[in-house]
Amino acid sequence: MDLSEMTVIHESMDGDELEMQMFMLERARAQFAWKCGGLDAEALDKPLPPSTMTIGGLLKHVALCEDMRIAEFLTGDHMPEPWKQENFDADPQWDWHSAANDTPEELYALWRASVERSRAAWATVLENGGLDQPSIFTTEEGGHPNLRRVLVDATEHYLRHTGHADLLRENIDGLVGEDPPQPAQP
């Protein structure tokens, strides 16, 4: 991953709710990218027993969740490749397990593409209203979570898995810290 994916965009100190919520998601993405970035196939497939979780599995799982959130809550679009239902029918944990068969380049590209689709989807739905508007998802009770809830859940998902990546990465090469090193400000 290149440095731009690990740059924490500095928020204004007096931004509105939407600006701050989007900053939180982008910061969580940057932290995740830093913890997962620059690894070879062996490192991406290294678990920290007794867990079988790997950074490669995290990358693929988070990419899946970005695309699922778009499809289920924002746009209703069909899931893009490689998210075929038959893969999950054969193995419900396919996103986690199949990452061992992917190259680092494939895993990083998959995650980057899902993030770009997510950014575009969020930009489109938010230009038609704010966070109070309902998502397209319908609960069993017939309700529709608002976009604020969807955005909070997206950020929480990154934060949880960045914690996993933090432990896995420290086990791989000792990398620790909260935010990635940032480029010098002009």
Please check whether residue 53 lies inside any domain of the structure: yes
Cα–Cα distance list, 97 to 55, 125, 174 (Å): 11, 33, 24
Please check whether residue 184 lies inside any domain of the structure: no
Q: With bands split at pLDDT 50, 70 and 90, how would you rate the model's confidence at 167?
A: very high
Instruction: Tell me: pLDDT of 11 over 70.
Output: no
For the chain, give the mean pLDDT: 92
Instruction: Tell me: pLDDT of 7 over 80.
Output: no
Please check whether residue 183 lies inside any domain of the structure: no
Cα–Cα distance list, 16 to 11, 21, 102, 106, 127 (Å): 10, 9, 40, 37, 15
Query: HSE of 153 in the Cβ direction (CA atoms, 13 Å)?
Result: 14
Task: Give the residue among 185, 144, 176 at the shortest CA–CA distance from 34.
Answer: 176
> Which single residue is written with the structure tokens 């969807």?
150
Phi-psi region of 76 (alpha: psi -120 to 50; beta: other; left: phi over 0): left
Please check whether residue 180 lies inside any domain of the structure: no
pTM of the complete model beyond 0.85? yes
Please check whether residue 111 lies inside any domain of the structure: yes
Q: Tell me the three state secondary structure of residue 157.
A: helix
Q: What is the pLDDT of residue 137?
A: 97
- Of the chain, the end-to-end C-alpha distance in Å amounts to 23
Please check whether residue 52 lies inside any domain of the structure: yes
Q: What is the pLDDT of residue 5?
A: 64
Q: What is the pLDDT of residue 4?
A: 53
Q: What is the pLDDT of residue 3?
A: 47
Please check whether residue 120 lies inside any domain of the structure: yes
| Percentage of residues of the chain with pLDDT beyond 70 | 92
Instruction: Tell me: pLDDT of 108 over 60.
Output: yes
The residues near 67 (Cβ < 8 Å, ≥ 6 apart) are 79, 80, 83, 114, 117, 118
CATH number, position 87 = 1.20.120.450
Helix (H) or strand (E) holding 152: helix 147-173
Q: With bands split at pLDDT 50, 70 and 90, how would you rate the model's confidence at 185?
A: low
Please check whether residue 181 lies inside any domain of the structure: no
> Containing domain of residue 144, as a range?
3-173
Segment 126-145 mean pLDDT: 95
Q: What is the pLDDT of residue 45?
A: 98
Instruction: Tell me: pLDDT of 2 over 60.
Output: no
Q: What is the pLDDT of residue 125?
A: 95
Q: What is the pLDDT of residue 179?
A: 81
Per the structure, the count of domains in the chain is 1
Instruction: Tell me: pLDDT of 1 over 80.
Output: no
